[in-house]
Amino acid sequence: MSITIENILLIGSLLLFISILAGKTSYRFGVPTLVLFLTVGILSGSEGIGGIYFNDPQLAQFIGIVALNFILFSGGLDTSWKTIKPVMWQGISLSILGVLFTAVSVGTFVWFITDFTIYEGLLLGAIVSSTDAAAVFSILRSKNLALKSNLRPTLELESGSNDPMAYFLTIAFLGLVVNQDQSIYSIIPLFFQQILIGAALGFIFGKLSRIVINKIKLDFEGLYPVLAIALMFIVFSATDVLGGNGFLAVYLSGVYLGNHNIIHKKTIMRMFDGLAWLMQIVLFLTLGLLVYPSHIVPVIGVGIFISVFLIFVARPLGVFLSLIFFKMKMRRRWYISWVGLRGAVPIVFATYPLLAGIEKADMIFNIVFFVSLTSVLIQGTTLSVVARWLHVALPMKAKQKSPVDAFMADDAKSFLREINIPEHNHSVGKRIVDLKFPKKAIIAMISRDDQFITPNGNTVIEANDMLVVLTEDQETMVGVYDCLNIQAEVQENLD
């Protein structure tokens, strides 16, 4: 079947619907959603029952880049600085040194067992060096698995931030394959350029994006997520033009926005969460359509060797070397090693050799696809088992309560206060987003002129407003009074 204007919406919507149902089924059986989405794409392809002909690596790469922007930005928005701060350096070391050691070890192994040149081997190693967060946490959620200590934020930070390093290594080694006379040392200045410019512009654009979102006044709440999408693509493209790593900049700008007050923040985050899921499904379906199963069969033998080496040697080596200077129990290091799932990102990066037209591009793509699939099947289906075997999983009774359960519990420490705003208070005439309210406090309602208003970040405080404020604890409520500069009423209202 050929894709035409007449049937593309029907085909696309049916594939999307089937993928969502397949993803729902995967939660029950513990199969990563990635596998189901890819399977739907493969079955719908030219060698499957769907018969859809798709052989456009350039379009697949474009879809991949767009999808990765949404996935990384959404991941950044969901990243809590308070949570990752204790493990920041471990996560950075894993996302930079861990990826580098994994790429080099896999590349050397491929060079040793195949007829690949050392640069071709390193290119393949770079492509498969990053992990996939979506596959990891879909399994953790489906199994209701909680992890001890700071394992989860460490894995979240690594998964969200290691794609930029893998992208840099892929581009760098691809350049060495194309330009054989180029020295390997030439990639060192490129590395610092990509990382430093990408990191700097990520925070700069994040700050500018916050100013733009908070200062611009849009008539409709639904336009704010659209504005955020526009800003996201500006961050990526502008950083890329200036010589930095666009993926790193997008992720860091998302982290910055997610940890600061912005107008309609909840709306923006919910929208990006849904779009991230949509982009994952579209990306996996596209890559599944791009693959020809008959082309995978000839590389199964070498693919098995590379997969085994990656899972049991290269990944643990990368983790242990990158964490050698940090204090961490051995069983936690082993679990981080096991949670090294390869997913859609390596397959997207494998399209770069195809477009560059290098000699072994097809073989690299097929090997990468096989390695990613086996990694998810082997590691993804055993995450909970290995966590319990290594004693890094919390027992059922120790798992955290849901927010609803915590709120309804007898010992819940929820504070609700009505705070009157005097006429000459400094907050009068200011928007809620500009008040620097404590993050654990919310203004649930405002009573004004015998009417109740449901506020948002753009709501302007007026004199004699009665704010209905909800906080998690007494300390946060004290912070609310300090923020509003109503010191005299603090003790009276909290006693």
pLDDT at 142: 54
For the entire predicted model, the pTM comes to 0.81
Domains, the chain: 8-398 (1.20.1530.20), 404-494 (3.30.70.1450)
pLDDT at residue 403, rounded to an integer? 43
- What pLDDT does 34 receive? 67
pLDDT of residue 409: 45
pLDDT of residue 116: 94
pLDDT at 401: 46
- SS3 sequence, the chain? CCCCCCCHHHHHHHHHHHHHHHHHHHHHHCCCHHHHHHHHHHHHECCCCCCECCCCHHHHHHHHHHHHHHHHHHHHHCCCHHHHHHHHHHHHHHHHHHHHHHHHHHHHHHHHHCCCCHHHHHHHHHHCCCCCHHHHHHHHHHCCCCECCCHHHHHHHHHHHCHHHHHHHHHHHHHHHHCCCCCHHHHHHHHHHHHHHHHHHHHHHHHHHHHHHHHCCCCCCCHHHHHHHHHHHHHHHHHHHCCCCHHHHHHHHHHHHHCCCCCCHHHHHHHHHHHHHHHHHHHHHHHHHHCCHHHHHHHHHHHHHHHHHHHHHHHHHHHHHHCCCCCCCHHHHHHHHHCCCCCHHHHHHCHHHHHHCCCCHHHHHHHHHHHHHHHHHHHHCCHHHHHHHCCCECCHHHCCCCHHHHHHCCCCCCEEEEEECCCCCCCCCCEHHHCCCCCCEEEEEEEECCEEECCCCCCECCCCCEEEEEECCHHHHHHHHHHHCCHHHHHHHHC
Q: Consecutive 10-residue runs of the chain (495 residues): their mean pLDDT?
A: 62 75 58 71 79 83 90 87 87 93 96 94 94 64 66 83 90 91 85 92 95 87 92 96 93 92 87 85 84 90 95 95 91 90 85 91 93 86 84 64 43 69 84 78 84 82 86 80 70 48
